[in-house]
Structure formats: structure tokens, C-alpha cells
Amino acid sequence: MAFSFGPFIGFWAAFEAAQRMGVMTISGGGQSTEQRLQSIFQREATVLVCTPTYALRLADAARLQGLDMRRSAIRITIHAGEPGASIPETRKRIEEAFGARTFDHVGMTEMGAYGFECEHQSGLHINEDEFIVEMIDPNTLAPVEDGQKGELVLTNLGRVGMPLIRYRTGDLGTISHASCACGRGWARLLGGVLGRADDMITIRGINVFPSAVENIVQRHPEIVEFAIEVYRRRQMHELHLKVEIAGTANGIIERLTQEFSNDLRIRASIEQVPDGSLPRFELKSRRLRFVE
Ligand SMILES: [Zn+2]
């Protein structure tokens, strides 16, 4: 459990659940990244629970120490707090770094943990024993059909102290009620949470989610860290991407520029910044910044 054991609620439910399952749970509270790495190897941890951002940071710190996480006992990584584990390129990067299978888990402080991936990994199951699920169009509030993008609206049934009725989660996704190969009939968010209604940015009339930017950046394992800056020029928003690259840039900036243009239809300015100059995150990353 590689998190701070502070008031961030994200992983306490996982910790508690694992203990109730009778699973040996190893605390990473109050430890540095180096101590956590040591603990993973010494205690032969088989499952890693942390944010996707922190999993990549652990892998990066291991690399700098000459440790190979693929030689650790870890076979599964479980992530919450950010959509990363459902972003294909981020998932791939974590799986390659750890030689493990990566699972997404989703929830929110006000609602509770509402979704998880099963072993078939065909979307995030919503725990319909505990939540009533609706999908709406965030603009018209009309219900949307299976297969169409909408905002998830939930009612929690089992939460003591904080019941919420038809709560607009702000999580955007595409729902399916088709039954899953695992046998569960619970609804699934296909491809996970595709974005947050409140973090969409509009670049010259094109709607862009930070997760789409991340999916491009994470294709390049040489990129160690990145930050997205949105600034205004002549009444229009522009996107500036800062990247830290391990070793030489080797045409990465040009490739990224091309990918932004091909995949997102936007022109982004991209800048290589010195190693270690961008902030590192342990819990939720804050890589998007609006610059005046
Ligand atoms: Zn399933």
C-alpha cells in the first residue's frame, strides 16, 4: 500500500478490505520512495496499490537505483485516484515497468468506491449492489443510451452518514449493460472514466481532455515527467507541453507535435525542460495548469 496513510481517502477502503479478506497488508505509510522500494523487494509484495502516477514514479526511482521492478514479486498493480490505469498507454507503461497486470479502480470521496475491473478487463464494472446507475447528457440532462458518451449519475445505497441521491459525479464515460465474460451483469464503463466534466479544455474550438494528452505522452517511455500549461493568446486557449526526457530528445518533440496534430487535431507547443525540474506527485497528479 504505497500511499501516505494520511487523510486522502482513496486507499483506506482498499486497506480495510484487504485486511478483512485476510490478506497480508504491508503499510507504506510514512516511508520515502526508496524505503517503499526496499520494502517491496524484502517482503516480496505481490500486489501494489497506489496511484498510477506513483507507480511510474516508483519504477523511475527503481531504474535510477539499478533495480528492475520486473524482478520483484509484484504480479498485479491496482490503481485509483486518477484515471491512468484505464488510459491505454499509461496502463501499458505500468505493466511493462512491473511485468505485472494493471487494474483500475474508481471512486470518489463524496460517493465511495463505485467501480472496479474484473479479470477480463473489459471496462469498469459499477457495483450495482451498492449504487443505482444513470447516465445523462451533461448539457440537456436527458438520459443517454448504452454506447453513447454521458455523465455518470449515482445514488449510493449503503453509505452511512453521507447518502447521495442522483448525484452528478462529473465522471464522463460510455456505459454498457451487456453481460461480461466474468458472468457479472453489472453495468460497465467502457474504457473507464474518459474524463471529468470539469477538466475539459477547449483549444481553438476543439475539446481536449488531459487524459487524451496523457495517452499520447505515455507512448514515449523516454519521457519521465510532463506538465500541461494552458494559456490565452488573442482570446484563444493554447496548449503548451513541458517534457522531461531521459537522455537525448532524439526527435521526440517532432513526433509528439505530429501526434497532437494527427490524434487531437490541435497544434501544441512542446518544450524539453531539464531533468528533475517538474514536480513529482505521490497522490493525485496536478499536471494541468492555467497560466495567465
Ligand atoms: Zn466482468
Per-residue pLDDT 10s for the chain (292 aa) are 998 888 776 788 889 999 999 999 999 988 999 999 999 999 999 999 999 989 999 999 999 999 999 999 999 999 988 888 889 999 999 999 999 999 999 988 888 889 999 999 999 999 999 999 999 998 899 999 999 999 999 999 988 888 999 999 999 999 999 999 999 999 999 999 888 887 788 888 888 888 889 999 999 989 999 999 999 888 788 999 999 998 887 899 999 999 999 999 999 999 999 988 998 887 778 888 888 7
Protein residues near ligand 1, an ion, with CB under 5 A: 118, 120, 180, 182, 184
- Residues forming a β-bridge with 179: none
Specify the pTM.
0.81
Q: Ligand 1 centre from 186 Cα, in Å? A: 8
Q: Ligand 1 centre from 2 Cα, in Å? A: 26
Question: What is the reported pLDDT for 66?
Answer: 95
Question: What is the reported pLDDT for 11?
Answer: 83
Q: Ligand 1 centre from 86 Cα, in Å? A: 15
Question: Is 9-106 in CATH node 3.40.50.980?
Answer: yes
Q: Ligand 1 centre from 121 Cα, in Å? A: 7
Q: Is 49:85 a contact under the CB 8 Å cutoff?
A: no
Domain spanning 201-291, CATH class: alpha beta
Q: What is the DSSP letter of 262?
A: I
Torsion sign across C-alpha atoms 262, 87, 198, 132: positive
Question: What is the reported pLDDT for 281?
Answer: 81
222 vs 250: CA distance, rounded Å: 10
Q: Is 131:159 a contact under the CB 8 Å cutoff?
A: no
Please give the C-alpha separations between residue 208 and each of 196, 238, 242, in angstroms, as whole numbers.
11, 11, 17
The CA radius of gyration of the chain, in Å to the nearest whole number, is 20
Q: Ligand 1 centre from 183 Cα, in Å? A: 6
50 vs 234: CA distance, rounded Å: 41
Phi and psi for 82 in degrees, rounded to 5? -150, 160
Please give the C-alpha separations between residue 156 and each of 109, 115, 163, 198, in angstroms, as whole numbers.
12, 12, 6, 22
Q: Is 19:49 a contact under the CB 8 Å cutoff?
A: no
Q: Ligand 1 centre from 179 Cα, in Å? A: 8
Q: Ligand 1 centre from 68 Cα, in Å? A: 31
Domain spans of the chain? Answer: 9-106, 110-196, 201-291
Q: Is 164:156 a contact under the CB 8 Å cutoff?
A: yes
Question: Which residue in 226, 225, 227, 283 sits closest to 81, CA to CA?
Answer: 283
Q: Is 246:224 a contact under the CB 8 Å cutoff?
A: yes
SS3 category, 200: coil
Question: What is the reported pLDDT for 134?
Answer: 97
Q: Ligand 1 centre from 280 Cα, in Å? A: 34
Q: 218: which residues sit within 8 A by CB, 6+ positions away?
A: 87, 89, 90, 92, 93
Q: Ligand 1 centre from 155 Cα, in Å? A: 21
Question: What is the reported pLDDT for 160?
Answer: 86
Question: What is the reported pLDDT for 7?
Answer: 73
CATH number for 110-196 (one of 2.170.240, 1.20.1410, 2.30.38, 3.40.30): it is 2.30.38
Q: Ligand 1 centre from 114 Cα, in Å? A: 14
Give the CA angle between residues 251, 214, 111 to the nearest 5°: 170
Q: Ligand 1 centre from 54 Cα, in Å? A: 26
